[in-house]
Amino acid sequence: MLTEETNTSSWMSRRIKNDEIVKYMDHGRDFIDDVLIERQLAEAPKEPDPRQVREILAQSMAIKDLSPEQVAVLINVRDPGMLEEMRDTALRIKLKIYDNRIVTFAPFYLGNYCVNRCSYCGFNNDNCDAQRKVLSPDEIRREISVLAGEIGHKRLIVVYGEHPKNDVDYIIESLKTIYSVRVKTRNGHGSIRRVNVNAPPFCVEDLRRINEAGIGTYQVFQETYHKETYARMHPAGTLKGNYNWRLYCMHRALEAGIDDVGIGVLFGLYDWRFELMSLVYHTQELEKRLGIGAHTISFPRLVPALNSAIPADWPYLVNDEDFKKIMLIIRLAVPYTGMIITARERADIRDEAVRMGITQMDASSRIAIGSYSGGTTDAVTVQKEDRQQFILGDTRSLDELIRDLARMGHITSFCTAGYRCGRTGKCIMDLLRSGTEGKFCKLNAVLTFQEWLDDFGSEEARKAGEPLIDKEIAQIKEKNPKALDIFMDYHRRIKTGERDLYL
Ligand code: SF4
């Protein structure tokens, strides 16, 4: 009889398919050229000429990607006045493309077994203090009852470790379970309508199967693009130790028919300037080779984890000011991309991020396995180091976040229409670049916001949200009159209890 250890080793030995790396490489070279990036950073002007910076900002404002050399110039801007101009441009771009919408979602960890040994992660295989668990179908249903029936989420990012217990069959079955749950709410029913997936790199065939289960964006973060640091953080001999298998996962995902891919970096592992340049290279490579750039970019920042090997005086930890600059530059460099800031960050940083071009935020987040339904009411604030990957910085509930966003003039969108109407991949990229995507999204954002307020909003949230909806309706009347009749019909039907209407 085979032991579990032998089974796991044999599973690991079948995972990486070298031909699915090599085929995308350019004469054996990958697209992250460390020497070139270091040179571009070194050669950028130390005190950029304001005229040059303004030319770059004008290019961003015209929704054109920046070159890595231009990004290197922006990285060196320190003058407070110029930084203010960058902030102003980033916000204007965000409003031009995405308007005043913030899309919300919840993270949902389904298992924390992992064969890897990443130095910075509490789930690493060497961490004997971590309590391991994989959710059963019944447990998933209980979690979704809370997420969709009590909190009111419509979108999830589901997270899986790399382990045979969380392999492709488990992922597909868990997605089916998630989509099958319908829960009665105050005035209608709640369900999860779009599941984005954050999972390990798979081969094309497995990615195709995952796509067929009906997913939104597939996310794999490179963590660090710097090869030496990557090798130091991800020991050789582990699956994650293979830099290029991870680097080319998004190529494989697009080839497998997944239209929307999300990339990211764990900022703080290496010099943020290098990582930022690499993110730009990555999205441009995807666009050049496969016709579709990154649908979303995420930029988690390194925070403490149980038994992490990263010392407190690690030289690359990113301070708040640099972190804000990173967000600004991503918005300017890749103007069309969705930008996600998670509850890893403190509430004050996330509020500021809203004014810098962010498009997606989570709320009411609980990242200990099984803690949406298994916790006490305290579970959102009492965090469990031995059951979660990191400690959250923003523990606001969705209701609180919605009120705070409404006070800042932002609508919280639960829209999942684009994905269900085929507005994905190249189609959504073209709509975003031309600034026409906002027309559909504004309407659907208002409809879904109304639905959430009616089904889940506290009295306070309704008081903050309803005047915003009135203002939005007045704007639709003025700027999109052709859509007014159908919009008002859908809005009336939602007010009388119909659910999940979209344009
Ligand atoms: S970062 Fe991901 S791959 Fe690495 S140990 Fe943690 S869960 Fe596993």
Q: Specify if 432 maps to a domain.
A: no
pLDDT > 90 in the chain, percent? 78
pLDDT, position 128: 80
DSSP E strand stretches across 51-148: 101-109
Question: Does 485 lie in the same domain as 382?
Answer: no
- Number of folded domains that form the chain: 3
Residue 264's SS3 state is: strand
pLDDT, position 449: 96
- pLDDT tens-place string over residues 461-474: 999 999 999 999 99
Binned at pLDDT 50, 70 and 90, residue 378 comes out as very low
Q: Specify if 194 maps to a domain.
A: yes
| Mean pLDDT across the chain | 91
Q: Which atom of ligand 1 is nearest to the CA of 234?
A: 4
CA of 113 to the centre of ligand 1 (A): 9
Round to whole Å and give the CA distance between 365 and 156.
10
Question: Does 120 lie in the same domain as 62?
Answer: no
Residue 161, ligand 1, Cβ within 6 A: yes
**Left if phi > 0, otherwise alpha if psi is -120 to 50, otherwise beta: which for 304?**
beta
Residue 341's SS3 state is: strand
The label of the residue with tokens 């009295």 reads 459
Binned at pLDDT 50, 70 and 90, residue 304 comes out as low
Ligand 1 pocket test, pick from 162, 222, 298 with the greatest ligand atom count within 8 Å of Cβ, gives 162
Question: Does 205 lie in the same domain as 159?
Answer: yes
Please state, in angstroms and as integers, the Cα–Cα distance from residue 119 to each residue in 125, 225, 232, following that order: 10, 16, 8
CA of 500 to the centre of ligand 1 (A): 36
Asked if pLDDT for residue 14 goes beyond 70, the answer is yes
Round to whole Å and give the CA distance between 356 and 350.
10
- pLDDT tens-place string over residues 396-408: 999 999 999 999 9
Question: Does 442 lie in the same domain as 304?
Answer: no
Q: Specify if 81 maps to a domain.
A: yes
pLDDT, position 384: 66
In this prediction, residues 204-212 reach a mean pLDDT of 98
Question: Does 295 lie in the same domain as 164?
Answer: yes
Q: Specify if 428 maps to a domain.
A: no
* CB distance 344 to 301 below 8 Å: yes
pLDDT, position 52: 98
Question: Does 231 lie in the same domain as 209?
Answer: yes
The protein residue with its alpha carbon nearest to ligand 1, atom 5, reads 124
Please state, in angstroms and as integers, the Cα–Cα distance from residue 333 to each residue in 26, 76, 281, 498, following that order: 24, 14, 11, 41
Question: Does 142 lie in the same domain as 59?
Answer: no
CA gyration radius, the chain: 22
Looking at 390, 423, 456, the residue that finishes a domain is: 423
* CB distance 390 to 304 below 8 Å: yes
Binned at pLDDT 50, 70 and 90, residue 127 comes out as confident
Q: Which of 29-38, 110-119, 137-146 has the lowest mean pLDDT?
A: 110-119
- pLDDT tens-place string over residues 418-445: 666 666 667 666 666 666 655 678 899 9
Q: Specify if 151 maps to a domain.
A: yes
pLDDT, position 379: 42
Asked if pLDDT for residue 308 goes beyond 90, the answer is no
Question: Does 281 lie in the same domain as 225?
Answer: yes
Let me know if 321 is exposed, middle or buried by CB neighbors in 10 A (0-12, 13-18, 19+).
exposed
Q: Which residues fall within 8 angstroms of residue 430, CB to CB, at 6 or more apart?
A: none
Asked if pLDDT for residue 386 goes beyond 80, the answer is no
Looking at 423, 447, 462, the residue that finishes a domain is: 423
Q: Which long-range contacts (CB under 8 A, 24 or more apart) does 67-70 make?
A: 68/37, 68/40, 68/277, 68/280, 68/281, 69/40, 69/44, 70/333
Q: Specify if 429 maps to a domain.
A: no
**What CATH number is attached to the domain comprising 351?**
3.20.20.70
Greatest mean pLDDT among 312-316, 340-344, 480-484: 340-344
Asked if pLDDT for residue 383 goes beyond 80, the answer is no
pLDDT, position 374: 78
Specify the DSSP class assigned to residue 151.
I
Question: Does 401 lie in the same domain as 281?
Answer: yes
- Report strand pairing: 101-109 vs 411-413: parallel
Let me know if 92 is exposed, middle or buried by CB neighbors in 10 A (0-12, 13-18, 19+).
middle
The protein residue with its alpha carbon nearest to ligand 1, atom 3, reads 116
Residue 108, ligand 1, Cβ within 6 A: no
- pLDDT tens-place string over residues 74-123: 999 999 999 999 999 999 999 999 999 999 999 999 999 999 999 988 88
Residue 114, ligand 1, Cβ within 6 A: yes
pLDDT, position 404: 97
Q: Which atom of ligand 1 is nearest to the CA of 161?
A: 7
pLDDT, position 420: 65
The protein residue with its alpha carbon nearest to ligand 1, atom 1, reads 121
Q: Which residues fall within 8 angstroms of residue 358, CB to CB, at 6 or more apart?
A: 94, 102, 327, 339, 340, 341, 350
Residue 203, ligand 1, Cβ within 6 A: no
Binned at pLDDT 50, 70 and 90, residue 452 comes out as very high
Residue 305, ligand 1, Cβ within 6 A: no
Partners of residue 155 on adjacent β-strands: 194
CA of 112 to the centre of ligand 1 (A): 9
Round to whole Å and give the CA distance between 154 and 185.
13
* CB distance 279 to 329 below 8 Å: no
CA of 190 to the centre of ligand 1 (A): 32
Residue 162, ligand 1, Cβ within 6 A: yes
Does an H or E element contain 338, and which? strand 338-341
pLDDT, position 380: 47
Asked if pLDDT for residue 388 goes beyond 80, the answer is no
Question: Does 316 lie in the same domain as 207?
Answer: yes
Q: Which of 124-128, 213-217, 309-313, 422-426 has the lowest mean pLDDT?
A: 422-426
pTM for this predicted structure: 0.93
The protein residue with its alpha carbon nearest to ligand 1, atom 4, reads 118
Q: Specify if 338 maps to a domain.
A: yes
Domain, as residue range, for 175: 5-25+100-423
Question: Quick one: three-class SS letters along 353-391?
Answer: HHCCCCCEEECCCCCCCCHHHHCCHHHHCCCCCCCCCCC
Partners of residue 158 on adjacent β-strands: 108, 197
Round to whole Å and give the CA distance between 244 and 264.
15
Question: Does 61 lie in the same domain as 122?
Answer: no
In this prediction, residues 305-332 reach a mean pLDDT of 88
Question: Does 289 lie in the same domain as 196?
Answer: yes
pLDDT, position 315: 92
Q: Which atom of ligand 1 is nearest to the CA of 121?
A: 6
pLDDT, position 425: 66
pLDDT, position 122: 82
Residue 450, ligand 1, Cβ within 6 A: no
CA of 175 to the centre of ligand 1 (A): 21
Looking at 42, 68, 89, the residue that finishes a domain is: 89
pLDDT, position 418: 67
Q: Specify if 500 maps to a domain.
A: no
pLDDT, position 4: 75
